[in-house]
Structure 1
Amino acid sequence: MDSVDGHFERLYQSGVDPWRVRDAWYEQRKRELILAALCRQRYAHAFEAGCGEGDMTLRLAQRCTQVCAVDGSPTAVQRCRIRVTAQQEKGVEVLALRLPSQWPDARQSFDLAIVSEIAYYFNDADLAGFLRRLWHCLQPGAEVVACHFRPAFSDRRQHTDAIHEAIAQMPGMTLLVHHLETEFRLDIWRKQPPQQGHDDDRNLHSCP
């Protein structure tokens, strides 16, 4: 995603909130739907891929003891950190990482993962690598939230339905929530504990 991350960095350098995440009704409503669809009131440790300037990050901090928020744009990460500090959210870590080649500390594990408006920028190899690394850092019982825009646009590399079906095919994933609109798709899965005698690790390598 190096070229895509560079594109995002230029957008963030051109101005604050380039996608109008803060004030566009589409973004506000979608954010509220994601938060309302979460199946638990509290989570221990959330992973947010593509945090941008932190609008979802700050909301997750109200529901999670810890949040690991990641973005490939250093400018977005800096702005997110400033907002987190201003809100005095001590349990939030904001990292500048180029997913999936870079990843949070392997010792970290999560009981919630937010994958929103990011996975369609991955090529096939990066999407497969992202899903492998994501699956390995999820605790048994963790929830995975995927939400992506559905209409076509110029720099899309993956279809939204294909992304969500690939997540669904990860070993042990049980669908909890499915919400479909003209503009976006929202799904939530739970990672079930491995069944005795099943090699989920091996099965994961065959996922798209």
Structure 2
Amino acid sequence: MHKATLLIDTEHQTAAYSETYFDALYNDNSDPWQYQTRWYEKRKRDICLAILPQANYVNAIELGCGNGVFSELLAERCLSLLSIDGNQKAVELAKQRLANDSSIKVIQGVIPQALADGLTDNNQTYDLIVISEILYYLPLTDIDRVITWIKQSLATGGTLLCCHWRYNIDGFEMTGETVHYRLQQAFNKENKLAFTHQSQIVDSDFLLDVWQRSAQTIAMQEELI
């Protein structure tokens, strides 16, 4: 997984900081967080892949793909994958990495605006939504817009995976703690839409939550109970 690089809406005070910050990170550097070399990042990716409740998915979307390191692995589990990031250089790098896989489409777009402005099909539903290391760059109002989109876009029986760094990030008010608390408020009590909180990992460094849009756990689906 990765700390994604998305551009914040210019109406918010952190906009100029975030855009120039991520542009600077990718200036003459194709892997600013060392996704390919750090054991921390590989371990986190492996945990995320292992915790997915289904072996394979038909139609997946990844919000915040960075340079595509995790996208490449995620695509092995998906028939179709749409990956989005806000940073132009990150998108170019992801496209280069994933060029030989026709099942993956990489686009540049600002979250949450990209989810509503035609970059994605508003009538499309996904059986896997992956949101990694991006929501703490957004104000709470935009996080709630993403949550609303999830409720509209996650297919029946589908999976939502969210993973975020737990520590403070200079220039931003949100942390992984505040983000996942808000996600739990939104989905753990969502009886009408039958979201099951399938898995939760509270690591010393990151938080990982997985929901299924189903009233049944994996064991129930496999008729073990």
Q: Do Structure 1 and Structure 2 share a fold, with TM-score over 0.5?
A: yes
The answer to whether the 8 A contact 1:49-1:70 is kept is yes
Cα separation, 2, equivalents of 1:138 and 1:130: 12
After TM superposition, list the pairs within 5 Å mapping 1:1-208 onto structure 2.
Answer: 1-2=8-9, 3=15, 4-85=18-99, 88-103=100-115, 104-168=120-184, 169-170=186-187, 171=190, 172=193, 173-192=195-214
What code does the residue aligned with 2:29 have? G
Return the TM-score normalized by structure 2: 0.80
Structure 1 runs not aligned, ≥5 long: 194-208
Provide closer, same or farther for how the CA distance between residues 43 and 5 of structure 1 changes in structure 2, counting only shifts above 3 A.
farther
Provide closer, same or farther for how the CA distance between residues 39 and 5 of structure 1 changes in structure 2, counting only shifts above 3 A.
farther
C-alpha RMSD of matched pairs (Å): 1.5
Return the TM-score normalized by structure 1: 0.86
Provide closer, same or farther for how the CA distance between residues 140 and 6 of structure 1 changes in structure 2, counting only shifts above 3 A.
farther
Q: Which residue of 2 aligns with 1:202?
A: none
Aligned residues, how many? 191
Cα separation, 1, equivalents of 2:140 and 2:110: 16
What code does the residue aligned with 1:65 have? L
What code does the residue aligned with 1:191 have? R
Moved more, 56-65 or 107-116: 107-116
Structure 1 runs (4+) greater than 3 angstroms displaced:
none
Q: Cα offset for 1:149?
A: 0.8
Q: Cα offset for 1:14?
A: 3.8
What code does the residue aligned with 2:211 have? W
Cα separation, 1, equivalents of 2:123 and 2:103: 17
SS at match of 1:8: helix
* Per-residue deviation, residues 154-194 of structure 1 (Å, max 9, x unmatched): 1333232332232232333211011111111111011238x
Percent identity over paired residues: 29
What code does the residue aligned with 2:108 have? A
Q: Cα offset for 1:9?
A: 2.8
Cα separation, 1, equivalents of 2:181 and 2:161: 13
The answer to whether the 8 A contact 1:52-1:77 is kept is yes
Cα separation, 2, equivalents of 1:41 and 1:185: 22
Cα separation, 2, equivalents of 1:101 and 1:64: 25
